[in-house]
Structure 1
């Protein structure tokens, strides 16, 4: 499977942005920026009960969001490592292909030279 260099460079250029956004999301959630959505006309007990359940739900959602943001961050880091390994492997294979091409060209040159010598000896 061949990797398109444009695709690899695009993915690599996006990884820092993904990591930055994941870090921002984690920090934003950790700071606890929340908006209270309790209605003003509710009674004190129902508003308090609603605030408690809402706060618990918000805490659960924040924890889930932090977990997801950290998972995305780890995944982006793993992709960066994988892409770097693929680049190194592609460079190694490119060097090997160049070497094998050179060896094949030398073999053809020696074969043609031998053929010329053989033909000269044959037709003398």
Structure 2
């Protein structure tokens, strides 16, 4: 399925902000570890920094994939709305033509009735 250019632009504009947020989180964790120094208790902070960074990068990639899926769903929804709008437009045009024809027939019938009445 092809994405329209606006959706692609939206997704591409969101990816840097997601990666920037991931980098901020990584920096925040690094600063927190520097302030704490060494901890003797095993826990999430005691893990290898490289493993934690890889974990955060993986989370950022998952978020980027989620944004991509949302963009695809957005494109599908927009396409469905466009099709429905086109269908409704055709129906409105048909109903307008039918109403105009009905009005013309009614007006012609009124003219005939008035002519018959005035004779």
2:73 pairs, out of 57, 60, 78, with 78
**Residues 1:53 and 2:45 aligned together:** no
- What's the RMSD between the two structures over aligned residues? 3.0
Alpha-carbon distance, 1:13 to partner = 3.6
Contact kept, 8 Å, 1:19 with 1:76, in 2: the verdict is: yes
The 5 A counterparts of 1:1-124 are: 12-20=4-12, 53-124=48-119
TM-score, length basis structure 1: 0.64
Alpha-carbon distance, 1:60 to partner = 1.6
Alpha-carbon distance, 1:22 to partner = 7.0
Residue of structure 1 equivalent to 2:25: none
Aligned residues: 97
Unaligned runs of 5+ in 2: 18-29, 35-44
Alpha-carbon distance, 1:23 to partner = 7.9
Unaligned runs of 5+ in 1: 1-11, 26-36, 40-49
